[in-house]
Amino acid sequence: AEMPGHGGILAPGPVQKKMGVLAYSPSPEVEMVRRDIELLKAHPGARYHVLHVSSGETIKLIAKAKSDGLNITCEVCPHHLLFTANDIKEGDSSFKMNPPLRSIEDQKILQEALESGTIDFVSTDHAPHEPMMKTSDFNKAAFGTTGLETALRSLLFLNQSGKLSPQRLVAAFSQAPARFLGLGNTMGNLKTGEKLRGVLVSDKSINRKIEIKDLASLSKNNCFLGFALPGKITHVFNHMGMFDFTS
């Protein structure tokens, strides 16, 4: 959700000022969602989904719309749950994404909204780029970070930190997205007699820093590089059978 024409790059704050780039306030996101909710009120049979919520103010609008009975859903990205504008590393444009990393207050509201169910599920906004597009110049670098390889472990980090229950982790990463995509009958749930589709994760593994070798993507613009995350997938079960990753 974004009103066009603002030209912002990083959320307002010390890092943005130090780097001398244009501020990207919450207003473009908040005002677009506010506008769309008014449209939804006029067409209550419609369905509205907000991608990649980053602002606490947006969450307040969505929570009110849900309480009013409107058919509205939303999602959040792992990087907005674990990082803030204060964590941006100067010269590392993996931290340049749209919407941008925001304040600690915004991050706290996003974490609480995911746990409460106001935020329906998590999506990665996986945005691979070749190195020439992710230079150290934040003014010229493309927006985006990869996130597929680090998404589940990011949520396990929140669970480890006491900010996300196991039940909500499974719902936000599996059940709710499956329902949203109309796949709830075959994905996202365990049923007796049905083929098992899922991953088995060890909760005994130590937190390990994300390294380049952990990224299956050909693109390496990942803001989680160097950040220690828990979780090791030991088995994958799908329509092809079981795959063991313990060796």
pLDDT over 90 at 204, yes or no: no
Question: Using one digit for the tens of pLDDT, what is the confidence trace for 5-26?
Answer: 999 999 999 999 999 999 999 9
- Which residue numbers are catalytic? 125
Q: Taking residues 90-114, what's their average pLDDT?
A: 97
Question: Using one digit for the tens of pLDDT, what is the confidence trace for 72-85?
Answer: 999 999 999 999 99
What's the confidence (pLDDT) of residue 64? 98
Q: 190 is written with which tokens?
A: 């365990």
Mean pLDDT of the chain: 94
pLDDT band at residue 210 under the 50/70/90 scheme: very high
Residue recorded with tokens 């749930």? 189
pLDDT over 90 at 197, yes or no: no
Cis peptide before 99 (omega within 30 of 0): yes
Residue 67: CB atoms within 10 Å: 9
Q: Is the pTM of this model over 0.75?
A: yes
Question: Distance between alpha carbon 101 and the CA centroid of its chain, in Å?
Answer: 11
Instruction: Give the list of residues 6+ apart from residue 221 with CB closer than 8 angstroms, or none.
Output: 93, 94, 127, 128, 129, 131, 134, 144, 145, 146
